[in-house]
Amino acid sequence: MAGLYQVQGIVLSTQDFREADRILHILTPNRGKITAIAKGVRKAHSNLRSGTQRLCLARFLLYDGRSMATVTQCQVEDFFAPLRADLERLLTACYLAEIADVSVPAGQASPEMFGLLRRSLGLLVRENPHLVARAFEARAISVLGFAPRVNLCAACGAPLEEGLIPFAPAAGGALCSRCSRQYGAQYRVSREALAVWRNLASMGGSHLSRLKLSPRCQRELAEILPAYLEYYLDRRLKSRILMEQIREDAYEYGTRKN
């Protein structure tokens, strides 16, 4: 039938629409991002209900419309249920979905970003969510073609000095002390953190359960990876701001209580 096609996709975000409809933003491997409407989906007996929820991997049968596609059928492939019962994992999943959303331009296919998000949601079900986020960021930066230079000074190519290494997203990576003054490098990181970044970028998340990182290395990566990614995406990620606020509130509640 003309206009009818099947796609596999991950629901990145949803908006309720009219009385009972829902608009979905779906990331697919070969058709990029698709906006589709699921009609009547918020009614109790709709058979589209589960597959049209945020962060669900499903196979959709879509009908092309003038402004957006219509979901006619969908079959859930993975609901990633454990993510929904754990706030830290759920917030991380929303953060990864937002990175995928903003980094894939409309109308452009990105099978790499789709595959990365799909694998990472699967890992988030069982692995440490902080490590899954770092592995996703490192791999996404490489997929987007922004990989930093971390073995020599990114600005002048000089060897890096001993001790903590100056790092500036604007310069494209690690810096020697002379260039660090010029760029006003705001981060100082260990060689261990830069080596782990390289490792995460090339391996993705397949070896996360075997990865042992010192708390300092985890803190450094949690600072520089999101900062680097946001610099090249040229925006602050809303879900990261939300995660930080929730963690601060929890910390404040904890300190007041004790």
| Six-digit token string for 106 | 């409309």
* Residue 104 within binding range of Zn ion, rule CB under 5 A: no
221 lies in the site for Zn ion, by CB under 5 A: no
Pick 7 or 175: Cβ nearer Zn ion: 175
Residue 154 lies near Zn ion (rule: CB under 5 A): no
Judge whether 133 and 90 are in contact, CB under 8 Å: no
- Contacts of 37 by beta carbon, 8 Å cutoff, 6+ apart: 17, 21, 22, 23, 24, 65, 68, 69, 70, 71
**Contact flag: residue 155 with Zn ion (CB under 5 A):** yes
Instruction: For Zn ion, give the closer residue by CB, 34 or 160.
Output: 160
By CB under 5 A, name the one of 153, 160, 165, 217 that touches Zn ion.
Answer: 153
Pairing between β-strand 69-78 and β-strand 33-38 as defined by DSSP bridges: parallel
Number of CB atoms found within 10 A of residue 258's CB: 5
State which residue, 26 or 176, has the beta carbon closest to Zn ion: 176
Give the nearer residue to Zn ion in terms of CB position, either 9 or 148. 148
Tell me which stretch binds Zn ion (CB under 5 A): 97-105, 109-117, 157-165, 202-210. Answer: 157-165
Is residue 156 part of the contact set for Zn ion (CB under 5 A)?
yes
Q: Is 4 in the site for Zn ion (CB under 5 A)?
A: no
User: Alpha-carbon distance 166 to 186, whole Å?
Assistant: 7
- Using a 10 angstrom Cβ sphere, with 0-12 exposed, 13-18 middle and 19 or more buried, the burial of residue 222 is middle
CA atoms within 13 A on the CB side of 73: 7
Smaller CB separation from Zn ion, 68 or 158: 158
In the complex with Zn ion, which residue's Cβ is closer, 10 or 174? 174
Stretch that binds Zn ion, among 19-27, 128-136, 146-154, 217-225 (CB under 5 A): 146-154
How far is the C-alpha of 132 from the C-alpha of 150, rounded, in Å?
Answer: 21
CB of residue 199 vs Zn ion: minimum separation in angstroms? 24
Distance CA 144, CA 201 (A): 11
Q: Whose Cβ is closer to Zn ion: residue 188's or residue 219's?
A: 188
Minimum CB distance to Zn ion, residue 184 (Å): 14
For residue 22, count other CB atoms closer than 10 A to its CB: 24
4, 68, 87, 158: which one binds Zn ion (CB under 5 A): 158
Q: Is residue 91 within a helix (H) or strand (E), and if so which, with residue range? A: helix 87-103
For residue 161, the 8-state DSSP code is P
Q: Verify binding: residue 176, Zn ion, rule CB under 5 A.
A: yes
Rounded to a whole number of angstroms, the minimum distance from the CB of residue 160 to Zn ion is 9
Binding site for Zn ion (CB under 5 A): 153, 155-156, 158, 176, 179
